[in-house]
Amino acid sequence: MAAVAAMSAACQVEDPGTAVNGAGEPFAFMANLPSTKTTLDTDGYKVTWDDDDVLSVIAEYDDNTVQHYKFEKGDGNTFSCRKVLEPERITALNVFYPYDENNSSLDGDFGRAGLAFGMGQKQSLADDASHIDGPLYGYAKVSEKVSDGNVPAISISHASTLMDVKVVNSAPADITVTEVRISASDPDLYLQGWAMINPQTGELRTTGGYQAVALTVDKVEVKAGQTAHFYITAIPFSLNAGETFTVTVTANGQKYEFEKTVESGDKGLFAAGTVNHLTAEFTDVEEADPDLKVEISTSYIAPVAAAGEYTVDVTSTGEWSVIQDESTKEWLTVEPASGTENGQVTVKVSALNGDSDMRTASLTFRAGLSEAVLTVQHGYAQRIGDLVWAKANVGEPGRFVSSPDEPGLLYQYDSRTGWSNGYPTAEPWDGPAPEGYPRGAKNTPDVWAPENDPCPDGWRVPTSDEMTALVGKPSQIQFAWKAPSSSGFANPGVMCGQANSVAAAATKSDMAGCVFVPCSGNRSWKSGVYQNPEHVTMTTATVSPYKGNNDGNAYVYVVKIMGSDTKYALPSSPENEWGYGELNMAYSVRCVADNQTEEQ
């Protein structure tokens, strides 16, 4: 249910605060709340800022149009974007946290905030409030021109309600908490999902959601006689006095339910920016079985087909269950969701809703305190001609990054070791080289060995001919350089796989059969330092048919595309061969499906 409207202007990630269109003036505002996002008091939970905080700002103009900008934190509580279109015409600012390049423009009385409530919440330590990062919202009229030196102050507040669940262990045995969940019996009561905001009043209303919100806990131990706090953010909701909801605490592998009744208040106390204190007291617990274990046959699935079923083997010494985020159940099912000892589960993914549909889910298989996690990334495949291409680069070996916006890790030829990528914050020639990075000339086979392939199962590094089928030839390119303002992606890069005229018109919301490859840079074969952040690089599994030697170093076929205001590529010779790079140079990897028979 993500917000779908693409931004019409934005700030480049590699140079925070610079408008991609190259025009505009500086603009800044002061977030005027001084207290902390993670300190709780009787008035609620307040707001302050970390140095790496980034805000989505939707500016309203005097002709009723809007523009979306990315603002970076500066000194104090000041946020700025160095180049904003015609700041003297801005009449109001709508500010959202966390930043999302897909925050929509404001339409009608309510603007879609693009704010996800209660999704992916985790807590690693007892009483650790540092994860409290619930959505924030601010709105302000702008009556003074920024060019006159005035900086508007905007009051920004939490758009979510906070549940402080105090787990009291009055039992004689220690407990280990792995999940805290709040659920409602009322089918119209949303605790997790998406919301819309009235920009004039700050009022929220849900656009869709789920009746449960969960916090994943990293095996926090609560000893006998002790207490621990767990914090969950949710969409603000209303309950009348006498109505109930349930707090479920998973401890020692068992689920314990605590029913809570609203005791006062016509509409309950669960408003935006409030803290709601709940107590779950344990008087008797089952001790965890230390011998209870669970394992699964794979930890990762990246389906090539648009819909299908996949089997996962489960090995366990006792009873096990599968924990799934409610928000993924619309497209992903697991059958059965529990079992005893060894068995199999079938993971089903529903049909995609188009080229732009990309989904990620984590399924936790749990037996007692033993866990195994299966990650499913669906919608990461795009058929182009006779080939199926991944929509995202490789991150850790055997995994795609979570979004096409991310450049992933950098890989040397015929190697499964991924090296860190400094993009977009590293400066060119940023060093030193990563520890253990192989440097200098390298002799390798002409074909990338399968055991060294960093692509996920079912995928592989493409050959030279396959790469040419994606990007075309220097004399007839099948890509277009795209800035964030025209693509909707956070980073600049290229749309690949279709004629230049088609690729040039593609966007994140309408990919037109393309795949997007972001700028990634590379690491030098001689020094190992990060360089060339303006390059889009894609390596191949076969060495270039036109290869030479320089200082005793062979070359590997690689496509290097770069551009800012212009677009061009680096061909080698002859004319219809793409560029090549040294074999110990580290580039990004874009995979092709190993089995090309499945339908898309």
Q: Is the pLDDT of residue 289 over 60?
A: yes
Computed over its alpha carbons, how large is the radius of gyration of the chain?
A: 26
Q: Is the pLDDT of residue 311 over 50?
A: yes
Q: Is the pLDDT of residue 10 over 70?
A: no
User: What pLDDT, on the 0 to 100 scale, is given for residue 600?
Assistant: 43
Using a CB cutoff of 8 Å and minimum separation of 24, what contacts does 199-206 make?
199/92, 199/94, 199/106, 199/110, 199/111, 199/139, 200/109, 200/139, 202/137, 202/139, 202/157, 202/159, 202/272, 204/113, 204/159, 204/235, 204/236, 204/272, 205/110, 206/235
User: What pLDDT, on the 0 to 100 scale, is given for residue 2?
Assistant: 24
User: What pLDDT, on the 0 to 100 scale, is given for residue 220?
Assistant: 93
- pLDDT (tens digit per residue) in 177-226: 999 999 988 888 888 888 888 777 777 777 778 889 999 898 899 999 99
Do 318 and 367 touch, CB atoms closer than 8 A?
yes
Do 177 and 250 touch, CB atoms closer than 8 A?
yes
- Which range (179-183, 264-268, 482-486) has the least confidence? 264-268
- What is the band of 394 on the pLDDT scale with cuts at 50, 70, 90? very high
Q: What percent of the chain has pLDDT over 90?
A: 34
Do 161 and 237 touch, CB atoms closer than 8 A?
yes
Can you tell me which residue has the tokens 């979004």?
Answer: 403
Q: Is the pLDDT of residue 287 over 50?
A: yes
Do 282 and 252 touch, CB atoms closer than 8 A?
no
Q: Measured between alpha carbons, how far is residue 11 from residues 91, 386, 398, 491, 535 in Å?
A: 20, 37, 32, 9, 19
Examine residue 518 and say whether the peptide bond preceding it is cis (omega within 30 degrees of 0).
no
Residue scoring higher pLDDT (457 or 2): 457
User: Taking the C-alpha atoms of 156, 484, 27 and 72 in order, what is their torsion angle to the nearest 10 degrees?
Assistant: 50
- pLDDT (tens digit per residue) in 374-383: 999 999 999 9
- pLDDT (tens digit per residue) in 73-88: 888 888 988 788 888 8
Q: What angle do CA 493, 498, 504 make, to 5 degrees?
A: 50
Q: Region 305-316: what's the mean pLDDT?
A: 93
pTM: predicted TM-score of the whole model, two decimal places: 0.70
**β-strand pairing of 515-518 with 530-531:** unpaired
- pLDDT (tens digit per residue) in 126-174: 998 877 778 888 888 887 555 456 788 888 888 888 999 999 999 998 9
Beta bridge partners of 137: 96, 157
Q: Region 412-423: what's the mean pLDDT?
A: 91
DSSP string, 449-474: -GGG--SPTTEEPPPHHHHHHHHEET
Nearest CA-CA partner of 591 in 384, 376, 390? 390
Examine residue 34 and say whether the peptide bond preceding it is cis (omega within 30 degrees of 0).
no
User: What pLDDT, on the 0 to 100 scale, is given for residue 285?
Assistant: 83
What does the domain layout of the chain look like in residue ranges? 25-282, 294-379, 382-593
| Cα-to-chain-centroid distance, residue 43 | 32
Whole-angstrom distance, CA of residue 136 vs CA of residue 393: 31
Nearest CA-CA partner of 226 in 293, 176, 288, 154? 176
CATH of domain 294-379: 2.60.40.10
What is the greatest pairwise CA distance in the chain?
80
Q: Is the pLDDT of residue 26 over 90?
A: no
User: What pLDDT, on the 0 to 100 scale, is given for residue 34?
Assistant: 55
Do 559 and 578 touch, CB atoms closer than 8 A?
yes
Tally Cβ neighbours within 10 Å of residue 311: 10
User: What pLDDT, on the 0 to 100 scale, is given for residue 16?
Assistant: 36
Q: Region 99-104: what's the mean pLDDT?
A: 70
Q: Backbone phi, then psi, for 6, in 5-degree steps?
A: -80, 150
Q: Is the pLDDT of residue 13 over 60?
A: no
